[in-house]
Each structure stands twice: as C-alpha cells, then as structure tokens.
Amino acid sequence: MTGLPIAVVGASAAGLAAAEALRRFGWRGPLTLIGDEPHLPYDRPPLSKQLLQGAWTPEKLLLRTADQLAPLDLDLRLGTRATGLDVARRTLTLDGGVGVSPLAQGPERGTLRCAGVIIATGVAARTLPGADRIAGVHTLRTLDDALALRGRLAESGRRVVIVGNGVLGCEAAAVARELGHEVTLVGIEATPMAAAVGTEVGELLAEEHRVRGVRLLTGAVDGFETAPADPAGGGDRRVTAVRLAHGGTPAGEGRASGGPSGSGGVAAGGGGAEGRLLPADLVLLAIGSRPAVDWLDDPALDTSDGLRCDAYCAAAPGVYAAGDVARWEHPVHGRPLRFEHRTNATEQGMAAARNLLAELAAEASGPAGATAAAGAEDAAPAPERRPFAPVPYFWSDQYAVKIQAYGLTTGADRVETTVLDRAARRVLALYGRDGSAVGVLAAGLPPRQVRALRAVVAAPLPWEEAREQIAAATAVG
C-alpha cells in the first residue's frame, strides 16, 4: 500500500463503522484507527444494562474480535489520544498509548499526516467538582467505568443514589433496584426522562420505578458528605451522603418554595440541615455528557455543541465527523442536529466514509489534486457525495418496559400521548414541531407495529395526516 493514510479518531461504534466502510467502499491505502481506551472496539448501550447487571461479560460487548479486525489491515492504535488537528495540513498530533501495526507493538507518539480524517470521538461524561477524588462516586461512560460500578453493585444492600433522571440514570436505577439495592433517583426535572420523551410518558415511567421501589426526588445536588476511606477504598475519602440544595420535594409532588425553578431540592427527612442529606454508600453521576472536542483547537472548526458539519458530515475539506460528536445540517429537518444514539453512530460512520472517499477521488482527479493523489490513488472510484438524512431511532430498556422512538422527540412544541394500558405500560406518543409531526414513540407494542411507525415520521408530515397514519399503523389485525 502507498500514500497517506486515512485516520479515524475514535474506536467505538461510529469509528469502527467508518473504518469498515472505507475498506468496503474501496480504500486500499493505509488506514489508521485511533482509540483513547486500551480496549478493542466495544458496544456502549449494554454498559448501563446487561453488563452492569452482570448478565454479560466484557467480551460479549466486543463489536469485533482481533481476528475479525485482521482483514481490515488496520494500523490500530489503542490507548492513544489525539491531542490536536491541523486542518489545513490534515495532520493529527498523537500522544501516548500503544500502536498495533499490525502485529508489532510499541510506543507511538508524534504527528500523523493524513489524506483524510474522520472524527468519531463521541462524548465524555459530565461530573461535579471534586467528585473524581471521592471513593464511591462514579460516572458511567466507558467499559472501565461500568466494571468499577458493577463491582460495587455486586456487594449487597447498598444505598445507591443516582444523580440525574435522564435516560442513563433511569436505566441504571432499574438495574440497581433489580439487584436488590435501596435506590434513590434524584434529578432537577420533576419528571424522569421528560426532556427525551415528554411529561406524560415520563410520568408513566416514574410510576414503574415507584412500583419497583425506587425513590424519586426532585432536587439539585450541592456536594457530598465524606468520611475517611479504608485502605482499599480507592480514594482519600469515601462518600457517605449526597448534599442537596434548598430542601426539596418528592418527584411529581411540586416544588419547595424558595428553591430555583426546576431544582427545588430534596427533603430526605423533613426540614433543617439534616433534611438536605441523602445517605449513600454509592453514587452514580448521570448528569449528561459533553462532546469530546476539547482537543480540536483549530479555528477552522466550529466546536460549539459538538463538531459542526455540513449535510455531508464534512467539518472542513478532508475532515468529516460521525456519531455522538457530530452536529450536522440535517437535510430533511433543515437545522443542525446532534444525536447520541447508537443506530445513528453506525449509519453516520458509513456515510462519512463514503463522502470522504468521494471527496478524495475528486481531489485526485482535479487540477489541484497532486498532494491528495498519493493517498487517493488507493481508493476505487467512489460515487458522488450524498447528504446524510437518517430517521433517528433510539431505545431504552427499564425493567420489562422497552421504549422505542423514531424521529425527533426532543424540542417538540406539541405532544399527544395515548396510554393504551397503564398497568402494562403500553403507550404511544406523537411529537410535533411547527405544525408537523416529527417523532413517534411506542412502548409495549408488537414489533410489526413499531416498525411501521418509522415511515410515518421519515419526513415531517402535517399533524392530522400523521395522526391518521399512526392510527392505521397501529390498528389491530
């Protein structure tokens, strides 16, 4: 193989999909896959479900084994961080880790000049100041995070406080409760997952958590109470309680007066200072994520809320993005969107690979293509670039409830929710924006009906027309 490599930065679902698509679409030149974790590419959704519960081993999360990766002939650099990108020169700065190329191992540092770059660095978990120095306070984003948390959940009778009642917090609360722990789920929003699914669906989920024994509270976290850790505690101090601001209320029962809107606070045992403490042996911070773009400091890139891209997933000439980190112009919805959904990661990785190869082929054949030709000559002819216009899809498993949604469910200005069977948690919801239906969610429906919902919101439809199609798609018979 000759010429410059294509580098894919990020060795998770989006990055692996991009690397495989590059080969499938004809790239025969050098191909470098860079990941900051030491693990082979693995799947992330099971971290908060099957792996955390102990039903799966880490090996079951692997997207590909070493033997399955071998035919890609990758320059695979695991445990390696990308620390900078010179957009004009298409040159990455790398630091640390081990390069595997393809069988030899050794330290890899320095720079890597590329024919093209696909950025798939995903997101990082948000945390609270000082939390990383307290034993028993966890985040959940990586395999190592999940294994550390699973180790603590393997102990019996823990008092678990989960801070953040979005999707991740709710999934982790369900697992911890099924493992027999005392679980408190606290969030600044009164209804769990309301931002993602709307208030009525969120209230139905809240009912399921309460029935299962989870304590739901509305409040803002002000810090932690700690005590000296034992020698095996893994930190200078260990958590003993979560400290909440401004008192508070049980979720769904209003807010305490004097508290900030949306936070309230949580009264764990009445008024007074002691009422603002939630005793905890174990704390999970599930307070959201931030796109992993801190290493991108080239002014040619827009890194506000992820890496801004055009409709083709291009952030700059020869630089593309895919997965959770990418905020791109969705050609159907006509505005920039960023999805932290597993299905989108794979689809966008493939789209970015296809469009990058089309651009490199055009560069190589054009009058200014001499510098790109060294790498592009190893690519088979590629079709023209195509806008990336997926129908978003996400799912969440909590206890026996499986939620599935197509389209856009966040940012809706109109939501119509039909509870088909409250006890069985069967529900159907339609989400609208500016007079059009843009998203649909179902729980407890047969797979055939759920699949039929996708076509209804593949593109925005007038609200009443979408309602009729939803009714037809979910009709019995």
Burial bucket for residue 426 (CB in 10 Å: 0-12, 13-18, 19+) = middle
> Beta-carbon neighbour count of residue 230 at 10 Å?
9
In the predicted model, what is the mean pLDDT of residues 283-310?
97
Least confident of 140-154, 366-380, 445-459: 366-380
* pLDDT (0 to 100) of residue 266: 35
From start to end of 142-281, where are the E strands? 159-163, 182-187, 215-228, 237-250, 277-279
* pLDDT (0 to 100) of residue 364: 85
pLDDT in tens, 302-331: 999 999 999 999 999 999 999 999 999 999
What pairs with residue 112 in β-bridges?
A: 92
* Nearby residues of 379 by Cβ (< 8 Å), 6 or more positions away: 25, 26, 27, 28, 29, 357, 360, 361, 364
By three-state DSSP, how is residue 403 classified?
A: strand
Q: Which amino acid makes up residue 228?
A: P
pLDDT over 70 (residue 456): yes
The phi and psi torsions of 110 (rounded to 5 degrees) equal 110, -145
Alpha helices by DSSP H, listed for 214-285, are none
The phi and psi torsions of 402 (rounded to 5 degrees) equal -115, 115
DSSP-assigned states of every residue in 55-118: SS-GGGGBSS-HHHHGGG--EEEET-EEEEEETTTTEEEEESSEEESSS-EEE--EEEE-SEEE
The conformation of residue 268, written as its DSSP 8-state character, comes to: S
Instruction: Name the one residue in this structure whose structure tokens are 């190869």.
Output: 357
305: left (phi over 0), alpha (psi -120 to 50) or beta: left
The C-alpha atoms of residue 353 and residue 125 are separated, in whole angstroms, by: 27
* pLDDT (0 to 100) of residue 245: 87
The conformation of residue 390, written as its DSSP 8-state character, comes to: -
* pLDDT (0 to 100) of residue 287: 96
Least confident of 2-11, 341-350, 376-385, 436-445: 376-385
Given a contact cutoff of 8 angstroms between Cβ atoms, the answer to whether 353 and 331 are in contact is: no
Least confident of 107-121, 216-230, 275-289: 107-121
From start to end of 202-313, where are the E strands? 215-228, 237-250, 277-279, 282-285, 289-291, 307-309
How much is the mean pLDDT over the chain? 88
* pLDDT (0 to 100) of residue 234: 53
Token pair of 272, please?
Answer: 């007074």
Structure confidence at residue 49 as a pLDDT band (50, 70, 90): very high
* pLDDT (0 to 100) of residue 249: 65
Structure confidence at residue 428 as a pLDDT band (50, 70, 90): very high
All domains in the chain, ordered by first residue: 6-123+289-376 (3.50.50.60), 127-285 (3.50.50.60), 400-473 (3.30.390.30)
* pLDDT (0 to 100) of residue 473: 85
Nearest to 106 by CA among 81, 80, 132, 67: 80
pLDDT over 80 (residue 101): no
In the predicted model, what is the mean pLDDT of residues 168-187?
97
**Global confidence as pTM:** 0.89
User: Cα separations (Å) of 116 from 6, 91, 235?
Assistant: 5, 9, 42
pLDDT over 80 (residue 233): no
The conformation of residue 135, written as its DSSP 8-state character, comes to: E
pLDDT in tens, 256-284: 333 333 333 333 333 334 448 999 999 99
The C-alpha atoms of residue 245 and residue 264 are separated, in whole angstroms, by: 8
User: Is residue 123 within a helix (H) or strand (E), and if so which, with residue range?
Assistant: strand 123-125
* pLDDT (0 to 100) of residue 269: 37
* pLDDT (0 to 100) of residue 2: 52
The C-alpha atoms of residue 446 and residue 428 are separated, in whole angstroms, by: 12
Token pair of 154, please?
Answer: 């393997």
The phi and psi torsions of 148 (rounded to 5 degrees) equal -65, -45
pLDDT over 80 (residue 99): no
Structure confidence at residue 232 as a pLDDT band (50, 70, 90): low
pLDDT over 70 (residue 96): no
Structure confidence at residue 221 as a pLDDT band (50, 70, 90): very high
The phi and psi torsions of 180 (rounded to 5 degrees) equal 95, 10
* Nearby residues of 362 by Cβ (< 8 Å), 6 or more positions away: 369
